[in-house]
Copies of this chain bind each other. A is one copy, B any other.
Amino acid sequence: MKQGNIQETSTCNPLTEALSRIGDKWTIQVVMELEADPKRFSELRRAVGGISQKMLTLTLRALERDGLVTRTVYPTKPPSVEYALTDLGKEMVVPVRALGGWVIENLPRIASARQRFDAEAGSAVSDGCR
C-alpha cells in the first residue's frame, strides 16, 4: 500500500514504466509519424489528428528526454523546429512494430472474443471509438 516498499516488482518496474509511456495517448502516433520522416512542430500537429499543442509538447519533451527524439532549432525568421527519431528511437520502433503487427494480425480473433464475451454478458460496451 505504501509506495516506499517497492521490492516486489523489482524496484520501480522499468518495463511497466516504459510501456506506460509507449502506451500513452499520443506517443506511438508521434513516433510513427517521425519514423516516416522528420517533421516540424506544426507538421506533426497536423499529422497527428486531434492532439493539443500542450500534449504534443509534453510528448515530444518526454521522447527527447529519453533520447528517442532530437529537437533541432533553425533560427529562421519565423523560427522552425525539426523533430526526428534518434538511432535509439529507430531501434525501439522495431519491437514496437512487432507488437503492433501481432495486434493487427490478431484483431479478428480479439474482436470475435469480445463479441462472444459481450453477447453472453449482455453488456453493451461497444468498443469506444469516438
Given contacts A29-B9, A32-B6, are A67 and B98 in contact (CB under 8 A)?
A: no
B113, A65: Cβ atoms under 8 Å?
yes
Rounded to whole angstroms, the CA-CA distance of A28 and B92 in the bound complex is 18
Q: Which residues of B contact A116 (CB under 8 A)?
A: 67
A106, B91: Cβ atoms under 8 Å?
yes
> What is the interface residue range for chain A against chain B?
35 or more
Rounded to whole angstroms, the CA-CA distance of A74 and B29 in the bound complex is 43
Out of B24, B92, B109, name the residue touching A102 (CB < 8 Å): B92
| A129 lies within 8 A of chain B by Cβ | yes
A49 → chain B closest CB, angstroms: 3
Rounded to whole angstroms, the CA-CA distance of A94 and B101 in the bound complex is 12
A16, B2: Cβ atoms under 8 Å?
no
Please report A residues at the B interface, Cβ cutoff 8 Å. Answer: 1-3, 5-9, 11-16, 18-25, 28-29, 32, 36, 48-50, 64-68, 88, 91-92, 94-104, 106-107, 109-110, 112-114, 116-118, 125, 127, 129-130
